[in-house]
Amino acid sequence: MFANFKQDCGGTWPAYVEHSFVRQIGDGTLPEASFRHYLKQDYLFLLHFARAYGLAVFKAQALEDMLQAKAGLAAILDLEIGVHVKYCAGWGLSQEDLQREPEATANLAYTRFLLERGLAGNLTDFHAALTPCVVGYAEIGRHLAKAAGSVEANPYADWIAMYAGEEYQQVARAQIAQLDKLCAQEQGSERHRQLSETFTLATRLEAAFWDMALQCQL
């Protein structure tokens, strides 16, 4: 179903994965102020992402789905946030700087949408909202790593390498498999339309996150 949802998005998916923010990361021309703003907002996003995975544990009915959600939560809390804080330090941002940052409107909209889908819907709704983030970053990483001039002498080379790397690519493949499995358990064209709309809206919110970061908006 991931492939169907991506196709249903139409131009919304390219607007996300080929956003100007992404292109400027790829060629190294993104203003550092925009990248620092992104890093601070992404730290706040990860905190809410962890909350969403905690909600997924609660929403899951099968043990395998509980374990999958638990693994996602542990990856964020035990690894990803620590890696992010260390990476931000290389850009002159302390953890105190990250914690003091007010949430941007686009960040509020996206993270609360994820939590709302988890609260109001079932586990499939949650994963339909979650997947554009996880899989989109993997697609972005692969594309930028292949593009000429995207690695050498690029100040964002480490960021590109992280999402292009096999470890993250495996995370994305597992996310697609989980979404497809859950969608296969849903019945009816109306239900699949609802899930597709959730996927598309999450993709729109991802593009809005890039807008916010590029323009240093709050």
In contact, 117 and 125? CB cutoff 8 Å:
yes
**Angstrom distance (rounded) from CA 156 to CA 152:** 10
Candidates 9, 88, 133, 183; catalytic one: 133
Judged on CB neighbours under 10 Å (0-12, 13-18, 19+), 75 is: middle
Query: Is 18 considered catalytic here?
Result: no
Question: For residues 50 and 72, what is the distance between their CA atoms, to the nearest angstrom?
Answer: 8
- Total residues belonging to the chain: 218
Catalytic residue among 9, 88, 183, 206: 206
Q: Identify residue 216 by its one-letter amino acid code.
A: C
The answer to whether residue 9 is catalytic is no
With helix as H, strand as E and coil as C, how does 95-143 read?
A: HHHHHHCCCCHHHHHHHHHHHHHHHHCCHHHHHHHHHHHHHHHHHHHHH
Could you list the active site residues?
133, 206
